[in-house]
Amino acid sequence: MKKRQIIDNVEITDVAAEGKSLFRYEERVVFVTGAVPGDIVDVEIHRKRSSYWEGVVIRLVKPSPIRIEPRCSFFGLCGGCKWQNLPYEEQLKYKQREVVSNLTRLGHLVLPKEETICASEKQFEYRNKLEYTFSNRRWLTGEEVGENRHRLEQGLPQLEMRCAGFHVPGLFDKVVDIDKCHLQPYPSNEIRNYIREWGIEHNLDFYDLRSQQGFLRTLIIRTSSTGEIMVIVTFGREQKSERESLLASLHEKFPQITSLLYVINTKQNDTITDQEVVCYYGHDYIMEQMGDVKFKVGPKSFYQTNSEQAHRLYSIARDKAHLKSTDVVYDLYTGTGTIANFVARQCKKVVGIEYVPEAIEDAKVNSQINEITNTEFFAGDMKDVLNDAFIDEHGRPDVMIVDPPRAGMHPDVVDTILRANPERIVYVSCNSATQARDLQLMSAQYEVVSLRAVDMFPQTHHVESVVELRRK
């Protein structure tokens, strides 16, 4: 086996994409994980390409002056929160720089003076949704591997391998057993730990990710700004007696759960969007509140996972739309109609379009809950629904608000937007690289008049950006 190259005593000089950092070696960029600018480290190279290398830190020789101690004991193992070793003010600086860099370097856009990034008031316990995996193949540390070897030699029982937590990055069949995640508030950790311990105590079959067999499979916990809690337990097969015993015990232990649901998922992937979700106790939804607007969130509904920061994000988008009471607004990629209903009272009409039919039904319900009567929602592929005939039928937009997925907009959608020729466009994005590409396609007809980054996910490299466009 070929020995990997090790580079000693190098200084990390900058932050890179996807939570990585970098340094230069022999006129080549080397991307590494687990370091911050200013660290002096030893790096083992594990991948070589013609224009760059990739490596991992194997020794921290001298810590950077800005490095901080991660709060989570699982930092570096579970794959999340890659910036917990970076002070929050530094995270914000690099996030803002990334947005500006992508829009100018990739989009070749002329930008106004950008506004200060909108920081999250909560740096921990901000998530309203987390998903966990049950597995019979727990990730073992080096010490635990040695202990298991000793136990085997002594004829002693092996360490418990059943677990509940997050996948190890790059290893589909290994799960880090989590006792405390700092991203979701009480009682998220307590619920997960209780189900895991109950399953072990009652000798339940935890899911085998290789053979795709097992009883306890996944867990979703959603908490809302209104204090409601939704728990969705997914089982890999039906075992009625065990399922009912577990759910009854969970309900008794945590009476604050307002929506206790379950899924029997026997297929080969974990998504529940195509599965029947059964309500065991309470409602099959929880309620969210954003300003004076309420939202019904079901088990399959998309809702921004940082509730408080979502309110700020949509408020910024609404302000940049400069809405008038006579405006017709199109909300593209409307999801469950969050933005559409949030801005509806400031304009004449909102037309929302979304690919997922169930989300559109939720959007209509959310309008009804809030007694909003000037919204219309349509389901279908954006490039097929949004065409000239649709615009002629439902009115030419004065304003378009677009919030596409990470992949950005299809070129046909951009073409239709340009033909619709709204006076103002507000582009909300979770990926400023694809946002830059789309804005460049519109740059002959629209100019960027304002820009603001919004931090939705502290401790990670992810950042949202809101760009206001004005017709030239």
Cα–Cα distance for residue pair 241/464, rounded to 1 Å: 45
Cα–Cα distance for residue pair 83/19, rounded to 1 Å: 7
Cα–Cα distance for residue pair 209/189, rounded to 1 Å: 23
Cα–Cα distance for residue pair 250/262, rounded to 1 Å: 12
- Strand residues in 215-315 grouped as ranges (E): 216-223, 229-235, 259-264, 278-282, 286-290, 293-297
Strand ranges across the sheet with 278-282: 171-177, 163-168, 129-135, 216-223, 229-235, 259-264, 278-282
CA dihedral 290, 292, 297, 303 (to 10 degrees): -30
Cα–Cα distance for residue pair 223/130, rounded to 1 Å: 9
**Distance in Å from the first CA to the final CA of the chain:** 61
Q: What is the DSSP string of 115-158?
A: PPPB--S-SSS--SEEEEEEES-B---HHHHHHHHHHHHHTPPP
Known active-site residue 347: no
Which of these, 188, 245, 187, 189, lies nearest to 216 by C-alpha position?
Answer: 245
Neighbours of 237 (CB within 10 A): 14
Crossing angle of helices 188-201 and 240-253, in 10° steps, is: 140
Distances in Å between the alpha carbon of 171 and those of 1, 82, 210, 241, 435?
21, 17, 11, 33, 31
Q: Are strands 163-168 and 129-135 parallel, antiparallel or unpaired?
A: antiparallel
Q: Tokens in use for 47? A: 């991948």
* Catalytic residue selected from 81, 118, 181, 430: 430
Residues belonging to the active site: 430
